């Protein structure tokens, strides 16, 4: 499951504030109301308090290089490297400002920094990995059409979306946060599938 949040007229900084506020609130409520359950799971969870640290894409590459990893600039950070970054933090943190070549056509390019997107990932600490991914949305028809062509996508497959943009939409920013990943982090579970009510994992959990 995923919770999607979208804020009209917001910047990606606004969306990050909403995301860290949401995570802080949820963790706080669990610690207040379900501490006995966490105790039974052997999970020691501390409150998380905004503002969370922020690391740009370029800064994250430097940090990974110091840890012995190599990432080609312009590419998405692989999950195992994001997990290594996660393990090096004791509090949730943001990765921001990915290059245009690493993300989708719908993330807004920074008009003052060509090639850099106004986007982010929220990452859990302790090696639990990505919590949420978000960005300002590109809302201008011509820019989206150009990005589609640059990324090798067929614009005809996005007819309804382009038609909506042609009619005009409001600027916005938002993010999606995975419920099972959040549950895994809060409960300190070894794997995401253990946070699902009815998991189906071939070779691990029998399926009908």
Would you place residue 207 in the very low, low, confident or very high pLDDT band (cuts 50, 70, 90)? low
What percent of the chain has pLDDT above 90? 88
Q: Is there a contact between 184 and 10 (Cβ–Cβ < 8 Å)?
A: no
Mean pLDDT for 97-102 is: 95
- Which superfamily is assigned to 2-12+52-181 in CATH? Bira Bifunctional Protein; Domain 2 (3.30.930.10)
Q: Concatenated DSSP letters for 114-181?
A: TTBBSEEEEEETTTTEEEEEEEEBP--HHHHHHHHHHTT--GGGGHHHHHHHHH----EEEEEEEHHH
Q: Is there a contact between 131 and 178 (Cβ–Cβ < 8 Å)?
A: yes
Q: Over the stretch 6-52, which tens digit does the pLDDT of each residue have?
A: 999 999 999 999 999 999 999 999 999 999 999 999 999 999 999 99
Angle at Cα 16 formed by Cα 15 and Cα 17, nearest 5°? Answer: 90
Return the bridge partners of 56, or none: 96
Q: Is there a contact between 178 and 1 (Cβ–Cβ < 8 Å)?
A: yes
Would you place residue 204 in the very low, low, confident or very high pLDDT band (cuts 50, 70, 90)? low
Residues present in the chain in total: 208
Q: Over the stretch 175-200, which tens digit does the pLDDT of each residue have?
A: 999 999 999 999 999 999 999 888 87
Q: Over the stretch 59-87, which tens digit does the pLDDT of each residue have?
A: 999 999 999 998 888 999 999 999 999 99
Query: Residue 173 is encoded by which pair of tokens?
Result: 């920013």
Q: Over the stretch 86-96, which tens digit does the pLDDT of each residue have?
A: 999 999 999 99
Mean pLDDT for 156-180 is: 95
What percent of the chain has pLDDT above 70? 97
**Rounded-to-integer distance, Cα 81 and Cα 67, Å:** 10
Residue 123, pLDDT > 90, answer: yes
Q: What pLDDT score was predicted for residue 104?
A: 87
Mean pLDDT for 101-129 is: 96
The answer for residues whose C-beta is within 8 angstroms of residue 103's C-beta and 6 or more apart is 76, 117, 119, 135
- Report the mean per-residue pLDDT for the chain: 94
Q: What pLDDT score was predicted for residue 197?
A: 84
């Amino acid at each position: 499951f995923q919770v999607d949040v979208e804020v009209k007229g917001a910047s990606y900084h606004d969306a990050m504030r909403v995301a860290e506020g949401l995570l802080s609130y949820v963790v706080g409520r669990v610690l207040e109301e379900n501490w006995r359950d966490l105790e039974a799971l052997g999970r020691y969870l501390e409150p998380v308090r905004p503002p969370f640290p922020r690391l740009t894409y370029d800064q994250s590459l430097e940090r990974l290089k110091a840890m012995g990893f190599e990432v080609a600039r312009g590419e998405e950070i692989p999950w195992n490297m994001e997990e290594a970054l996660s393990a090096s933090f004791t509090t949730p943190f943001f990765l921001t400002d990915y290059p245009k070549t690493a993300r989708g056509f719908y993330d807004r390019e920074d008009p003052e920094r060509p090639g850099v997107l106004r986007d982010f990932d929220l990452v859990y600490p302790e090696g639990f990995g990505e919590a949420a991914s978000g960005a300002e949305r590109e809302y201008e028809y011509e820019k989206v059409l150009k990005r589609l062509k640059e990324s090798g996508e067929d614009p005809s497959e996005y007819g309804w979306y382009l038609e909506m943009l042609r009619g005009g939409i409001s600027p916005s920013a938002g993010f999606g946060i995975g419920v099972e990943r959040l549950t895994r982090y809060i409960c300190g579970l070894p794997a995401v599938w253990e946070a699902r009510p009815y998991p189906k994992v071939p070779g691990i959990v029998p399926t009908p």
